[in-house]
Structure 1
């Protein structure tokens, strides 16, 4: 497993990370235990969760139950900001909320520090200076090692960087955003911002909800037991004529080279600028093995150019 720096920071993470949003909802405790231990055994170090995953704390709780002594072997990343109460009282990036949110996450995770604490979304109601000062205090206290953001527009990333410099506080070292062969929107503004400020990019939904696994190729009706079948909004989001045609061309590309769609999806992202780790979930140990192997294809410059021709038209 290749290990990379997270942006300009000294934090080192595995090129393939484990997305933990399945734990506590689609994956029972014993299956989660097998997946977690298999991931560590195969060299995955970055474990990415959030306080809202699995019904307000469920994923963090599972990680806290399972990790035990192996906590020291991983880079544990979690998030705050999105609603943790039905009435909206527990959310945002104010000093008051962050101070309570981090303690709740630490308790559920059964640890005394978080390696990467990420703001899950931008909070327009709280000055970025207040947020950054609070996060810097947590870094100084040792409760948080590094900070990152997720789902920020590019101009908000620049705003946060300038504020951190002016205040002399810990800056964001990473950004986590959707990025895949069929969703390349961040290349317009966000990726250039990540390059300029040297933020480590952590792509999520690398398989576009399953679209890039190849299992939906040629299907006229989506099976009910698949992710698209169980979550209609995901089907509506990804399973459209444009993506179907694109995937057909990518399938021909990988078939001609003796590779799979899964290998292409992971390896292409791993070859993109600023990508530190590709975040992908897994519901079985076997899926972990597939994800790790999928990132091993070293695409040539000519192949990357051909892929651009297919995906960018």
Structure 2
């Protein structure tokens, strides 16, 4: 599978990554191991997890499974901000990051985190504190690269403007929601990231499943599907306008002999600055479908026609 450098100076990521939030939640260790190995076998090297996924079990399952295959994977994980009820005092964010890093290293059974995300920005702590602490972890070799997640354009710019003058390692990428049905990030965040040479890592590429083709207008949700089990996701994206878009996009994909799922991933992969598209999976078949989607290269004419 194609690999791309995140932001120019970040890690090389497979163009399709696997979101690991199902490990320890929907999937037990054995089922998670099957998906992890299927991903590696399909050429997916980018594993995106977090300390909060499955209360740490996602990291534990990845660490337990990789074993001798550790060097085949680029492990990205994330630390949580300070607890909401903990008042900020200078150094408290630093302590939270160091504690989280040590715990993640232990659960992942590794000596380094390839890509470490600040899962959410700290509303009270200065960005300097996060950057200085993460820079320290890089110098110690515990973290190789770090990035932001769920930030807005102003927060991204503030971090970029702080890192350079202070001679600190910078956030090499940023992770955020982006898909064919959710394009608000294109207004400010995406242009800001490109301007500061920050790589893009979209999540929710399939709009919580609406872009998989499994849901149809005025039809019951398939039993056991995400929309059937979790109304929150359905309420967020299901409406007549989105179904109309899905139907048009499905027709477009079928003209080329592809599915709408493949189109959703390929469209993101074709966007300037995108290094890797994160897609979750609970079965080897879903892993292989996601990986195959990353091989479709859309032309400029294709992109213009879709818009």
- Give the SS at the match of 1:148: strand
Structure 1 residue runs of 5 or longer lacking an equivalent are: 309-313
Offset from partner CA, 1:45-73 (integer Å, 9 cap, x none): 1100000011x212111111111111111
For 1:31, the equivalent position in structure 2 comes to 31
Contact 1:78–1:118 (8 Å) recurs in 2: yes
For 1:13, the equivalent position in structure 2 comes to 13
**1:128 counterpart = 2:159:** no
Moved over 3 A (4+): 87-93
- Give the SS at the match of 2:275: coil
Deviation for aligned residue 1:218? 3.3
- Give the SS at the match of 1:202: strand
Offset from partner CA, 1:222-249 (integer Å, 9 cap, x none): 2341101111110000111221111111
* Residue range with higher mean Cα deviation, 59-68 or 92-101: 92-101
Contact 2:113–2:144 (8 Å) recurs in 1: yes
TM-score normalised over the length of structure 2: 0.95
**1:115 counterpart = 2:114:** yes
Contact 1:90–1:97 (8 Å) recurs in 2: no
- Give the SS at the match of 1:155: helix
Deviation for aligned residue 1:10? 4.9
Aligned CA distance change for structure 1 residues 119 and 90 (closer, same or farther; 3 Å):
farther
For 1:242, the equivalent position in structure 2 comes to 241
**1:210 counterpart = 2:209:** yes
For 2:48, the equivalent position in structure 1 comes to 48
TM-score normalised over the length of structure 1: 0.94
Offset from partner CA, 1:127-179 (integer Å, 9 cap, x none): 11111111110000000000100000011000001111121111000000001
Deviation for aligned residue 1:89? 5.2
Query: What aligned pairs does 1:1-313 form with structure 2 within 5 A after superposition?
Result: 1-54=1-54, 56-82=55-81, 88=85, 94-308=93-307
Structure 2 residue runs of 5 or longer lacking an equivalent are: none
Deviation for aligned residue 1:298? 1.6
Contact 2:18–2:44 (8 Å) recurs in 1: yes
For 1:311, the equivalent position in structure 2 comes to none
* Residue range with higher mean Cα deviation, 22-31 or 4-13: 4-13
